[in-house]
Chain A
Amino acid sequence: MRLRFIFSEVLNGLRRNSTMALSVVLVTFVSLTFVGAAALIQLQVGDLKDDWYGKVEVRIGLCPENARSTQCAAGPVTDNQQEQIRQVLEAGPVSELVKKVYFESKEEAFESYKKLDNQGIADLLTADQMQASFRVKLNDPEQFQVVADAVAGMPGVDYVQDQRDIFRQLFSFLNAATLVAAVLAGVMLLAAGLLITTTIRLSAMSRRRETTIMRMVGSSRTLIQAPFLLEGAVAATLGALLAVGALYGSVRYVVGDWLKSSVSWVAYVNEADVLTVAPYLVAIAVALAAVASVMTLGKYTRA
């Protein structure tokens, strides 16, 4: 009886206040889409870090023939210099940090360049024009600077490159995007909260007659307030579900179909990630409605 009563009151309330309810749905929809987008971007960043930081290496370029840089003014790297560099990496103080050292000779660099080249440039080059390098894998990629300092000034070293730099810019872009999405989400959530408050207030006023009688005949405060609470919660949850749908759609069709076919070497967020985020979005919506309701209801349906 009570459940039926609450349910029918909620439906009535939503119908009577349909424009307000719709605006609550839309505002929560937009705000939670931003929240979800921010979350997905962060998941993407996490994925990329896991994926790429495992593969990246420190690359120590050795002086090639005819190098123009000042480090290589003394001419190309000698076998002796090359051996000393290897000693530092494998037996020096930094060797603790080093997982693996791999030497890429000029010939190997040329071979791998040929594989990537599809414009015929490789045909104009010879192996001697390529640069030999050490590829160093670190136990902890964060320790790059220590290793770099150890070899940077050594004769025969042209440059030391942390490959993470390539990604760093991408990550800072993604982090900035997250921040923008989060700020927008915050503002929208505030708007959603205020709208829910107003909606509940209107609903409570339009049902004042009923609630007065309910108080008078001694129905519990829970029963008096539940329809209003649920009204806000239902509208907000609908908004959250729309947001989940929108995120699911964009991950599936924009990221999954379109991005994946144009840039295929990156692991992207997928539908499963959206479903991971979804419960949190719904929870945020419900919590938002609850907070807004509690702030409003006391005043309008006091016992």
Chain B
Amino acid sequence: MIRFDNVTKVYARGAKPALDNVSVEIERGDFVFLVGSSGSGKSTFLKLILREERPTEGDVYVAGRHLNRLSSWRVPQLRREIGAVFQDFRLLPNKTVYQNVAFALQVIGKKRHVINSTVPEMLELVGLAGKEKRLPHELSGGEQQRVAIARAFVNHPPILLCDEPTGNLDPGTSVGIMRLLDRINRTGTTVLMATHDDEIVDQMRKRVIELKNGELVRDQDRGVYGLERV
């Protein structure tokens, strides 16, 4: 589903590479944690998948596409196959829960009747049925993140990227979000989650990819957060 072949990314000429010769493959339906301290290259890794950045060297394949050769007008098609969730939720403050989720479908040109049937289903799935008309600021952090997940997943993309989705949430709420992501993963969706949250990684016992200074230092099935704990 996602494959990096000897990928190196250098932002400024002569600078230390943000990613250094990384090769990794993530299969369809995998649940993978991407861990590493700040500046380890996690964000660059995600940006390369979304093709917000292009690799300096090496090849990136996502959802059957060779991103090095993907022309920029096809990028939107790629992004429709990738749902993205962020630490800061990125909801539209003046739109209701329903409108926030529907927005993602509107702007890719889905028909109104499709939107009308899919959005309630999705809100049901993330556990927000009955809160359609709330505005984001009327919701708790956990609920806001659920809206963001609903928006990312409403088009049923085969890949879900999560960048520190529990970073702003307390541990109890985070567990709920992780259950939700796990449920989405069980529908066959590939989930790649960048995180600092060692407790969650340790609890979930999923595959862990660790980056350090841009290098891949660990790729472990059913792993835990830090190397030293193995």
Contacts and interface: CB of A to CB of B under 8 A. Distances in A.
Pairing of A with B: yes
Contact of A303 (B72, B81, B112, B151): B72
Contacts of A299: none
Contacts of B76: 215, 218-221, 303
B111 interface: yes
A77 B155 CA distance: 101
- How many chain B residues sit at the interface, stated as a range, is 20 to 34
B107 A223 contact: yes
Contacts of A117: none
B226 to A, nearest CB: 31
B65 to A, nearest CB: 13
Contacts, number: 63
Given A213-B92, A303-B75, A218 B103 contact: no
Interface string A1-25: 1100100000000000000000000
Contact of A209 (B81, B92, B106, B108): B92
A217 interface: yes
Nearest to A207: B92
Given A216-B84, A218-B78, A1 B92 contact: no
Contacts of A303: 72-73, 75-76
Contacts of B109: 1-2, 219, 223
Contacts of B112: 1
Contacts of B110: 1
Interface in A190-214: 209-210, 212-214
Contacts of A212: 90
Most chain B CB within a 10 A radius of its CB, from A210, A216, A221: A216
B90 A217 contact: no
- How many chain A residues sit at the interface, stated as a range, is 10 to 19
B117 interface: no
A210 B92 contact: yes
B16 to A, nearest CB: 25
Contact of A219 (B50, B84, B90, B107): B107
A213 B155 CA distance: 14
A210 B100 CA distance: 10
Interface of A: 1-2, 5, 209-210, 212-221, 223-224, 303
**Across chains A and B, which 6 residue pairs bring their CB atoms closest together, nearest first?**
A218-B79, A218-B80, A219-B107, A218-B76, A217-B104, A214-B107
Given A209-B92, A221-B72, 4 more contacts: A1-B111, A216-B50, A216-B84, A217-B155
Interface of B: 50, 72-73, 75-84, 90, 92-93, 103-104, 106-112, 151-152, 155
